[in-house]
Structure 1
Amino acid sequence: MPLKIGELARLSGCQVVTIRYYEKEGLLPQPERTSANYRLYDESDVERLHFIRRCRLHGMNLAEIRSLLAFKDHPTVSCAWINDLVDRHIADVERQIASLQHLKTHLEALRHTCAGDHVQSCGIIDTLDHGSPCACCNEEHCHLNDLTCEASKRKAKQNG
């Protein structure tokens, strides 16, 4: 039974605008049209959208999804390249995790610079205002501040 775009959106969990975009990008085939120019879809379009959504949930971009769909539609070569694709995504996730752990360390250090009881001298504001890059951040090319070293030096000066 043919589906109109609204029904396809409901069944696939995609927004209508997303479906149109995927058509424009070539991820979905051009649908048949009624005499009134309504798009008509079928169950294979629902399944294709589910596949695309699962790819997106796994962090794949449209070019990668296009390649996976082409392979899925015509599996004529080895699928070893798919392992490489997933390995690249795993490496990217590992870099993101390391970056987030680094950020967490900085945020924890930042949080410890302020007791929360001095209106005029908030350690967090002071550190964000006057902090300088740490060696670790410079090596990793991140733009976080060395909150631990700078905050400790200022606190020692204020208390000393």
Structure 2
Amino acid sequence: MRIGVLAKAAGVSVPTIRYYESIGLLSAPARQGGQRVYASEDVKALSLIRHCRDLGFSLDEISDILASVQRRSPCSDTKSFAEQHLRSIRRKIAELRSLEATVAALVSGCETTCCGSAAPDCVILQPSQACCR
């Protein structure tokens, strides 16, 4: 199949396919008459890449996952990738919760102390505030 058909079948754009090929995430296809010719395995690979992207895996992590699939590694390897990714997600959530508390405190401080002051005097813009450290 040609690249446009592959893109439609996998739900990605043609430039995305070319990008994945350029970074080695997707193998370069055979060529026929100067045009790329793809197989059904390429649809499967792209679908897996898209699924992993939807789950928030980085391209490097997806590369490791694809290599694991190609080696026919045990499911426990995939589980390890997912556990590692889950830890990363949980760290990000904790960081975002901390950031949320900081910004909420700044907004509250602004409401109680600024009351129409000039923007440069706003508590939100003061890096020395205790809640920002």
In which range does the TM-score fall when normalised by the shorter chain?
0.7 to 0.9
Counterparts of 1:25 and 1:131 in 2: how far apart (Å)?
Answer: 41
* Number of the residue aligned with 2:117: 120
**Of the candidates 100, 103, 107, which is equivalent to residue 107 of structure 1?**
103
The alpha carbon displacement at 1:121 in A equals 4.7
* Number of the residue aligned with 1:20: 18
The alpha carbon displacement at 1:133 in A equals 5.8
**Structure 2 gaps, min length 5:** none
1:145 aligns with 2:129: no
* Number of the residue aligned with 1:130: 126
The alpha carbon displacement at 1:25 in A equals 2.6
TM-score by length of 2: 0.80
1:65-114 superposed Cα distances (whole Å, 9 cap, x missing partner): 22322222232x54433322211111111111111111111111111123
Counterparts of 2:60 and 2:111 in 1: how far apart (Å)?
Answer: 49
Counterparts of 1:125 and 1:65 in 2: how far apart (Å)?
Answer: 47
Counterparts of 1:108 and 1:40 in 2: how far apart (Å)?
Answer: 54
CA RMSD of aligned residues (A): 2.6
Counterparts of 1:62 and 1:129 in 2: how far apart (Å)?
Answer: 36
The alpha carbon displacement at 1:27 in A equals 2.5
**Structure 1 gaps, min length 5:** 135-143, 147-160
Comparing both structures, which one devotes a greater share of its residues to helix?
A: 2
1:6-35 superposed Cα distances (whole Å, 9 cap, x missing partner): 221122122212211212233222212221
Residue identity matched to 2:78: I
Aligned residues: 132
